[in-house]
Amino acid sequence: MDYGCERARQIQVGCNGQGSGVTFFKRAVQCLRLVVVAGVLTSGIGTAWAVPKETSTEKAEHLRQQANPQLFKDWTFDKDDVGSVPKGFAAVASGAQQQGAWKVEAQAAVPSAPNVVLGTSSCGGCHEMLVAQGFQYEYPDLVVRIQQEAGSAAGQVGVVFGMKDAQNYYATLVDVSQKIIQVVRVIDGKESVLGRGAIKVKPVEWHTLRVQRNTIISKDFVETFFDGSLALSVEDQALGVGQVGMLVGGDASARFDNFNAAPLYSSRPLSAPAAY
């Protein structure tokens, strides 16, 4: 923005100079060209993102690709090796001072025995993510069972979706101890909170988090459910098709089980029924 403004001031000074005849005409043409260039420089600054929005053609193609039975996936982690990262997933970190780990852990009293996934994080400004490889969703329906470790007062657990890379993604974050849920958007590594709300935490050991990204006409929105109740709904269209996964952030430790992902197709009518 400073560069564009400086160019505009320089152009104005140059155009105010005196001249006559052919010299004046040439100077006027040069000033007109510079004004156009300066306008382009100043108009685009502050709005460009590292990840461009989808065009209507790209969105239609992505929706066509979602009609794929292989995108209906249920990960139980029960056949994965204990102590290792589950097969088909990759650990990805975002933010400064990344210090975390993911591994399969054996437990008897879990939603689906015998294995769960343990995720840990020990930094205040980062997200540790476990991302499914080879799965891309435009409008995902994600469900996961979570158990947050006692004492993780400043920690967050949740899911990531619409992920382009470690610097561009959506995430739904839950702080069970503070009874807060929020949806964030990360673009070029910069986090924006799209919405925040309170949750009702049931007195159970394992909680259920469900996140749906849907579309109706020209609006995209994200709805989050915690322990079966709608907790938050936000609108955003910045990111399109992307990867999905699980997440821990802050000083947190949490276990995950029964991670389900499926493409979501809206069943809502495109217009209200006609009045008679």
* pLDDT given for residue 151 in this prediction: 55
| Contact criterion met (CB below 8 Å) for 148 and 176 | yes
- Among 188, 197, 185, 192, smallest CA distance to 224 is for 197
Q: Tell me how far apart the alpha carbons of residues 272 and 166 are, in angstroms, rounded to a whole number.
A: 40
* pLDDT given for residue 61 in this prediction: 63
> Is residue 192 domain-shared with residue 115, that is, in the same domain?
yes
> Is residue 145 domain-shared with residue 117, that is, in the same domain?
yes
> Is residue 35 domain-shared with residue 60, that is, in the same domain?
no
> Is residue 67 domain-shared with residue 123, that is, in the same domain?
yes
Q: Tell me how far apart the alpha carbons of residues 113 and 130 are, in angstroms, rounded to a whole number.
A: 20
* pLDDT given for residue 52 in this prediction: 61
Q: Is 272 domain-assigned?
A: no
Work out the burial of residue 173: count CB atoms within 10 Å of its CB; fewer than 13 is exposed, 13-18 middle, 19 or more buried. buried
Q: Is 50 domain-assigned?
A: no
* pLDDT given for residue 4 in this prediction: 42
* 22, 24, 28, 30: CA torsion to nearest 10: 70
The CATH number linked to 242 is 2.60.120.560
* pLDDT given for residue 271 in this prediction: 43
> Is residue 63 domain-shared with residue 27, that is, in the same domain?
no
Give the N- to C-terminal CA distance of the chain in Å, as an integer.
55
> Is residue 32 domain-shared with residue 63, that is, in the same domain?
no
Q: Is 36 helix (H, G, I), strand (E, B) or coil?
A: helix
Range of the domain at 38: 2-44
Q: What is the CA radius of gyration of the chain?
A: 25
Q: Is 88 domain-assigned?
A: yes
> Is residue 257 domain-shared with residue 224, that is, in the same domain?
yes
| Contact criterion met (CB below 8 Å) for 96 and 141 | no
Q: What tokens appear for 48 in the block?
A: 């460009």
Beta-carbon contacts of residue 41 (< 8 Å; ≥ 6 apart):
3, 4, 7
> Is residue 17 domain-shared with residue 95, that is, in the same domain?
no
> Is residue 100 domain-shared with residue 11, that is, in the same domain?
no
* pLDDT given for residue 113 in this prediction: 86
> Is residue 136 domain-shared with residue 16, that is, in the same domain?
no
Q: Is 129 domain-assigned?
A: yes
* pLDDT given for residue 108 in this prediction: 83
Number of independent structural domains in the chain:
2
> Is residue 27 domain-shared with residue 135, that is, in the same domain?
no
* pLDDT given for residue 251 in this prediction: 83
Segments of the chain with pLDDT less than 50? 1-49, 266-276
Task: State if pTM tops 0.85.
Answer: no
* pLDDT given for residue 89 in this prediction: 97
Q: Tell me how far apart the alpha carbons of residues 73 and 81 are, in angstroms, rounded to a whole number.
A: 19
Q: Is the dihedral of CA 95, 160, 112, 230 positive or negative?
A: positive
> Is residue 6 domain-shared with residue 112, that is, in the same domain?
no
